[in-house]
Amino acid sequence: MTQDVNFYDKPLSDEEFVEIGELLALMPEPYESMEPDRMDGFLTAIALLPEPVAPSEWMPFVFDEEGRSDAALTDSNKQHDLEDLVYRRMRNIERTLAACDPIDPIIYDVEDERGRPIGGWEAIAALEPFAAGFLEAINRWEGLKDTNDEMIDSALLGILRHLPANLLGDLALIKEDLDFESPLENIKDALEDVAESVAEIAAVTRGFTSKTKPSKVKGGQRSGRRSNHVISKDQKRFRRG
């Protein structure tokens, strides 16, 4: 990476969010790259770890589920572009946490059988890949699991409650209790809840604390929060599957 350091602090544009998905989808076999929404959960968890993890350790897992170091695009220029985009996204997440701003994860619309976006509580399933990526990171690196810290454990549940059913394991019953005691009505509620959970962890593991806490508004969205990176149906055509 030879770019000026300020280049890596520049947030990704809407076009670059689409580009990162396109490039990840070009990863050749036998490698299996992450989707951008899962990658965001993975990177967020790494950014929350009390001890830093070098990009050379975590980036191979973005390009290949087995973390093979030789996973790369056949076009070296595109591979360089992809690495830059992934690293910039990581830097953006870190800066968001340090500023005590709510995270703004990449998510994909949940669609019905006719390809139309689903609303209401069913749309919350859009957070499943984020939670899965988050879980992968905390399973690979120490610092968030088994901390015996009540605040961290509670905040983790606020994120991991969104895991797909096949990954819930022992958390399935806890999720049922959470869904009953603290129900989330829609994706906005869920996004705010995840953002608050991430902020609570960051306060403990990274020392990132805000003097003032943003007030909630109806619909689960913080005042002044910008819209999330929701990828449309047309943009999804570049993804595998």
pLDDT tens digits for range 195-231: 999 999 999 999 999 765 544 433 333 333 334 555 5
Q: Which residue has the higher pLDDT, 234 or 138?
A: 138
| Average pLDDT of the segment spanning 157-171 | 96
- Specify the range with the lowest mean pLDDT, choosing from 59-68, 111-120, 129-138, 147-156: 111-120
**Amino acid 212: pLDDT:** 52
Please check whether residue 140 is in contact with residue 61, taking contact to mean a CB–CB distance below 8 angstroms: yes
Count Cα atoms within 13 angstroms, Cβ side, for 135: 19
Number of domains into which the chain is organized: 1
Structure tokens at 134: 């988050």
Q: What is the pTM of this model?
A: 0.86
Q: Which residues contact 25 (CB under 8 A, 6 or more apart)?
A: 33, 238, 239, 240
Tens digit of each residue's pLDDT (9 = 90 or more) over 88-134:
999 999 999 999 999 999 999 998 888 888 999 999 999 999 999 99
Residue 87 pLDDT grade (very low, low, confident, very high; cuts 50, 70, 90)? very high
Domain containing 50 equals: 5-238
Residue 187 pLDDT grade (very low, low, confident, very high; cuts 50, 70, 90)? very high
**Amino acid 230: pLDDT:** 56
Q: What is the CATH number of the domain that holds 84?
A: 1.20.120.740
Tens digit of each residue's pLDDT (9 = 90 or more) over 173-186:
999 999 999 999 99
Percentage helix, strand, coil, to 5, in the chain? 55, 5, 40
- The amino acid at 157: L
Tens digit of each residue's pLDDT (9 = 90 or more) over 21-57:
999 999 999 999 999 999 999 999 999 999 999 999 9
